[in-house]
Amino acid sequence: MSKEKYKLHPISAVINFVKVLKEMIIPLIVVIAVNGFGGSGGSGDWSSYITYGIYGIMLIFLLVSGIIKWKRFRYWFEEEELRIEYGLFVKKKRYIPFERIQSLNYTEGIFHRPFGLVKVKVETAGGGATKEADAELTAITKAAAEQIKLEMLQAKNKFTEPLDDSAEVQQVVKVERQSIFKMSPKDLFVLASTSGGVGVFFSGLAVFVSQFSNVIPYEAIYEEIVVFIRFGALIVALVVFVVLLIAWIVSVVLTFINYYEFMIIVEDEEIIITRGLLEKKKITIPLSRIQGVRVVENPLRQLMGYATVIVDSAGGSLAEKDEKIRLLPLIKKTKITPILQEIFPELQFDPILTKIPKRSRKFFYRLDYIWMIPVAGAVSYFFYPFGLFSLLLFPLSYGLGVWQQKTAGYYLNERQLVIQYRLFSKVMVWMEKRRIQSMTERATIFQKKANVSSIITTIKSGVTGVSTTIPHIEKTDAEMILNWYEPHRKISIEIEQPLD
């Protein structure tokens, strides 16, 4: 392997500067708003100049530190390892064996695209203990990124000869272009319209406003709201409608930006996902890391015949938000089985479920009554007569419980377990027997009397695990599932031979 040391593109210095600045922008704005604009006349003007000078020095320091990080960053290939040398004040070295690398994820941001660059994140089998990826190359050329991939493949003996032949490289590119799924503009619009992006927008707005709680004149705003309400309920309702409409439009735009040109490719036992408009991401998931497959249908999408497919992937870093990766963000349910069957041919995607017994129905809603009775009683007493509307919680809880009981079920064969359940959205989970980390049977006193119990299964997801419950099934069924999961060990008997 080549021992030549490579540098990052100079734009890395700017990217490092912007990255640190983005993390500091809200605290910096708060400090400027509270202190920077407080001076008025006399010595106050000098203090404000000093404050702005400090801000300027901070920005210069951040830019210089970004330049130093870029100048000191090196990477090279040696002894079947990716070796990295970096550090601001203290020089550090990191050696990553190619055989441990599980995925190379690529990102093209607004600073990368004009220069034909990508950011490369390296994740290994033992990664995820920290908040960052095992290694990150901030900005390198696409040819350099391809070189890292080829060096890794050669080290893993996937290719027996050097891949310098342009014909072979062209063949690889040709295979990558054969996608098995691509989102249409119509699906993108439905995804944006039925997502929880509106809630995310208001949550982000609340976090932003909370940063300025010391400088916002709440009393004056309250007085203005009181005056505004006097204009009538129609005006208030109109304003609320406009705000929600704007939030919905923002949600749609953000979804289009994040999932623009979403495409899935399966190549060399890996799933490759590309998406994004302003920041184009390329995520690689080895099939060996996928522990489970989930099909999620919220009530609105279920009525429209759409669903979301999520895969649980082992490993990854805590900083990644895609521990549960959206394999198919939105797709017609009738189209799911052929695509999943092509990716996971060993799984059965048309199971006939064993349903939950009707006598288990009470367990789906009875526990809710424990907290609803005192709450509804208190609300009805202190807010009579309008508090009586809280009594509607009881039929709603009963209806939800019946809905959950009718949805729940399981399917079992020699190699896999399928679980279907509902909290509010309908979820169906496929997991192979060899991927299940643990299985537990749980039965309360009341369940024992009804001769039912629940099975809790755990598979690895991200750096931890995720549990799925088969609720309130027949006791005999629970024992059958436990026996299915229990490993069958071969018993060997050694016969002692007499000594001559």
H-only helix segments in 260-282: none
Give how many domains the chain has, as a whole number.
Answer: 2
Name every residue whose Cβ is closer than 8 Å to that of residue 296 and which is 6 or more positions away in sequence: 307, 308, 309, 310, 425, 426, 427
Domain boundary among 225, 259, 293: 259
Together in a domain, 74 and 197: no
Q: 82, 8 in Cβ contact below 8 A? A: no
Burial letters for 222-245: b for 16+ Cβ neighbours within 10 Å, e otherwise?
Answer: eeeeeeeeeeeeeeeeeeeeeeee
Domain boundary among 142, 158, 176: 176
Q: From CA 109, how far away is CA 276, in angstroms rounded?
A: 9
Q: Is residue 47 part of a domain?
A: yes
If one counts every other C-beta atom within 10 angstroms of the C-beta of residue 106, the result is: 21
If one counts every other C-beta atom within 10 angstroms of the C-beta of residue 326, the result is: 18
Domain region containing 25: 11-176
Q: Is residue 88 part of a domain?
A: yes
Q: 258, 186 in Cβ contact below 8 A? A: no
Give the pLDDT score at 178: 62
* Residue 344, both tokens: 């996971």
Q: Is residue 457 part of a domain?
A: no
State the average pLDDT for the chain. 80
Distance from CA of residue 34 to its chain's centroid? 36
Together in a domain, 168 and 226: no
Name every residue whose Cβ is closer than 8 Å to that of residue 116 and which is 6 or more positions away in sequence: 141, 142
Nearest to 349 by CA among 336, 331, 368, 367: 336
Together in a domain, 118 and 144: yes
Q: What's the rounded mean pLDDT across residues 345-358?
A: 92
Kindly tell me the number of DSSP H helices and DSSP E strands found in the chain: 14, 20
Name every residue whose Cβ is closer than 8 Å to that of residue 111 and which is 6 or more positions away in sequence: 11, 14, 15, 18, 117, 139
Domain boundary among 208, 233, 259: 259
Together in a domain, 86 and 208: no
DSSP state of 106: E
Together in a domain, 101 and 213: no
Higher pLDDT: 267 or 470? It is 470
Give the pLDDT score at 21: 80
Together in a domain, 150 and 22: yes
Dihedral of alpha carbons 2, 287, 344, 303, sign: negative
Together in a domain, 168 and 20: yes
Together in a domain, 197 and 157: no
Name every residue whose Cβ is closer than 8 Å to that of residue 291 and which is 6 or more positions away in sequence: 312, 313, 314, 431, 435, 459, 460, 461
pLDDT in tens, 69-92: 899 999 999 988 999 999 878 888
pLDDT in tens, 286-295: 888 899 999 9
Q: 37, 102 in Cβ contact below 8 A? A: no
* Residue 239, both tokens: 């304003």
pLDDT band at 410 (very low <50, low <70, confident <90, very high): very high
SS3 107: strand
Q: What's the rounded mean pLDDT across residues 470-493?
A: 81
Together in a domain, 67 and 111: yes
Res. 6: pLDDT tops 60: yes
Q: 93, 84 in Cβ contact below 8 A? A: yes
Opening angle at CA 349, ends 346 and 352, nearest 5: 120
Q: 9, 141 in Cβ contact below 8 A? A: yes
Res. 95: pLDDT tops 70: yes
Together in a domain, 112 and 214: no
Predicted TM-score (pTM) of this structure: 0.75
